[in-house]
Structure 1
Amino acid sequence: MALPIITAEQRLAEARGVKGVLVGGWGLGKTSQLWTLDPATTLFVDIEAGDLPVKSWPGDSIRPRTWEDCRDIAVLIGGANPALRENQPFSQWHFEAAQLRYGDPAVFAQYQTLFVDSITVAGRLCLQWCKGQPQAFSEKTGKPDTRGAYGLLGQEMVSWLTQLQHVRGKHVWFVGILEERVDEFGRRNHALQIDGSKTGLELPGIVDEVITLADVPAAEGPAYRAFVCQTANPWGYPAKDRSGRLDMVEPPDLGQLMRKLGAPEAAAPTPPTLH
């Protein structure tokens, strides 16, 4: 059977979700961006167990504790990948097995946005799982093989991210910790804090948007908190805007940012007053 041709009219009418990464240092309010999102249509994927800033946020959440949980959630939300063989993650076999464990995946249909906090902790869960797999041990000696474990880590993380990236009708935001590094020449740079190098290198090519939440220096007066959205920024923060709609610096409001990217208007709850 020939592959169907998708007309321009059909393509433009399709629901297309934004896939992005939101990174920032400790305590800048990454998780608190949930307050800018519609709780009726947002699912908080709380991998980090760091929900204190959003304890009274009135939306739903799910709390994966293992790497297997993370993979099962991804296949239930994204469906089976027909290109994969039986017994492979995200295959039809995996989809049916996850259904037996969790029930009907239709429960996820009501959510338009997935807020995954955080990709840093997901990487740690994945590495812990990888260290117990056959690839993490030498075939000759049976001793742990660090290179094998990290090689598997890269494959697993990229497959997981790609599975969620292909959920066309939903917005997916991965939250991550930004760390400052100093190279051998004393130069400072910023990068996503995550185990292994493969995920960090390939992630910008998987998602549409890379946004850094940072204290941006002002021309006059104190620094102010903002989203840095363009690659060519003077502070060297990781950023990327595939849409071409964002300015270099945007207000630190994820809901407003998504509307600028073309997402439908959505009501956000009022955050609690700080005393």
Structure 2
Amino acid sequence: MEALMLPIITADQRLAEVRGVKGVLVGRWGLGKTFQLWTLDAESTLFVDIEAGDLAVKDWPGDSLRPRTWEDCRDIAVLLGGPNPALRDGQSFSEAHYAQACRRYGDPGELSKYRTVFIDSITVAGRLCLQWCKGQPQAFSEKTGKPDTRGAYGLMGQEMVGWLTHIQHTRGKHIWFVGILDERTDDFNRKVYELQIDGSKTGLELPGIVDEVITLAEITSGDGPPYRAFVCHTANPWGFPAKDRSGRLDLVEPPDLGQLMRKLGAPEAAAPNPPSIH
């Protein structure tokens, strides 16, 4: 009996593949993270509005989805990334889950016109996930039947990482997750910045899942006035979370996501004219 072999992908085939940028954009409240939609091509961008905080982009002419439950978020993920054939029926992102999501939402081919998916925000997605997890059997003690906080948070970590990883495997699209950045002071009186999300597992593993981690920050340089910018390198003097797997970005880039993506090699696309931001 001949052994089955996985098809070998040649270098030419790999280089010819259509790939997308996978990144997370973080920053404090009010700096204009959601506003970055205005820098993207509206016709080819899908806004996944989990936060229901679209006032800054209410006139943005693109399409949007508004998931309100964790089940909605998982369905969108499987429609974007397709089914994982390695998973069993009954598991999220399996063939059965994909078929169920298709029956619920319709033809997933409708999503093919979107080149970029802008998911705002991962912070609120985490809240929806934790709320769902608290109702699952793992969130209750087998002996007493009482709520088990450790079990709920453990399940949340698995769910969030699985969700993020599945969306990240959507090869032909650019995926941007938006998150809120928390600032705290550690035991040595130093500023520490962390992704605002329930539980620790998601925040710890997220940088390893995506290609780019970009912080939108207000920076003070010398005696000049503060200015908004993207911080893109892990080794930065402010201690912001950042990572550039491409090697194409400078330490600080203009706060324009469309321009940043073009520098990362994304194709040129016309963005709508945004209103001014202060």
TM-score range, shorter chain: over 0.9
Question: Residue in 1 aligned with 2:217?
Answer: 214
Provide the secondary structure at the position in 1 that maps to 2:150: helix
Question: Residue in 2 aligned with 1:37?
Answer: 40
Match of 2:9 among 6, 12, 28: 6
Answering whether residue 15 of structure 2 is matched by residue 15 of structure 1, we say no
Cα distance in 2 between the residues matched to 1:266 and 1:5:
33
Cα distance in 2 between the residues matched to 1:259 and 1:137:
48
Match of 1:173 among 172, 176, 179: 176
Cα distance in 1 between the residues matched to 2:138 and 2:160:
15
Question: Residue in 2 aligned with 1:140?
Answer: 143
Provide the secondary structure at the position in 1 that maps to 2:42: coil
Answering whether residue 253 of structure 2 is matched by residue 250 of structure 1, we say yes
Cα distance in 2 between the residues matched to 1:113 and 1:168:
11
**Shift of residue 272 of structure 1?**
2.5
Match of 1:238 among 237, 241, 244: 241
Question: Residue in 2 aligned with 1:46?
Answer: 49
Segments of 5+ residues of structure 2 without an aligned counterpart are: none
Question: Residue in 2 aligned with 1:121?
Answer: 124
**Shift of residue 185 of structure 1?**
3.0
User: Under a length normalisation based on structure 1, what TM-score does the superposition of the two structures give?
Assistant: 0.98
Q: Percent identity?
A: 79
Residue deviations 1:24-69 (CA, integer Å, cap 9, x gap): 0010000000000000000000000000000000000000000000
**Shift of residue 223 of structure 1?**
1.2
Match of 1:55 among 47, 54, 58: 58
Question: Residue in 2 aligned with 1:28?
Answer: 31
Cα distance in 2 between the residues matched to 1:89 and 1:96:
11
Provide the secondary structure at the position in 2 that maps to 1:179: strand
Question: Residue in 2 aligned with 1:91?
Answer: 94
**Shift of residue 216 of structure 1?**
1.1
**Shift of residue 188 of structure 1?**
1.5
Paired letter, 1:155: Q
**Shift of residue 147 of structure 1?**
0.1
Answering whether residue 226 of structure 2 is matched by residue 223 of structure 1, we say yes
Paired letter, 1:207: V
Residue deviations 1:184-223 (CA, integer Å, cap 9, x gap): 3322210110010000000000000000000111133111
Answering whether residue 259 of structure 2 is matched by residue 263 of structure 1, we say no
Question: Residue in 2 aligned with 1:78?
Answer: 81
Residue deviations 1:83-108 (CA, integer Å, cap 9, x gap): 11110000001001111111111110
Provide the alpha-carbon RMSD of the alignment: 1.0
Question: Residue in 2 aligned with 1:186?
Answer: 189
Cα distance in 1 between the residues matched to 2:211 and 2:58:
29
Which aligned pairs between 1:185-204 and structure 2 lie closer than 5 A?
A: 185-204=188-207
Cα distance in 2 between the residues matched to 1:217 and 1:260:
25
